[in-house]
């Protein structure tokens, strides 16, 4: 496995293709990425895996 593949697994949700929590935290902490007033909304859904496994994504 090469570095690009490892990076994708570390920072991208494979089911959705969206950045995961680790990538979002990295982007939000980088001062050069956000240069305007910005709001961020995050949800932590407990037991979401159980819902996905029984009802689908």
pLDDT digits (tens, 9 = 90+) for 4-57: 777 777 888 888 888 888 888 888 888 777 788 878 777 767 777 777 778 765
Q: What is the 3-state secondary structure (H, E, C) of the chain?
A: CCHHHHHHHHHECCCCCCECHHHHHHHHHCCCCCCCCCCCCCCCCCCHHHHHHHHCC
- Can you give the pTM of this predicted structure? 0.50
For residues 23 and 11, is the Cβ–Cβ distance under 8 A? yes
Q: How far apart are CA 19 and CA 46, in angstroms?
A: 19
Q: C-alpha 30: how far from its chain's center?
A: 15
């Amino acid at each position: 496995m090469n570095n690009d593949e490892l990076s994708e697994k570390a920072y991208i949700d494979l089911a959705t293709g969206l950045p995961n929590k680790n990538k979002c935290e990295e982007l939000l902490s980088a001062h050069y990425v956000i240069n305007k007033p910005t709001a961020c909304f995050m949800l932590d859904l407990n037991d979401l895996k159980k819902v996905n496994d029984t009802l689908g994504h």
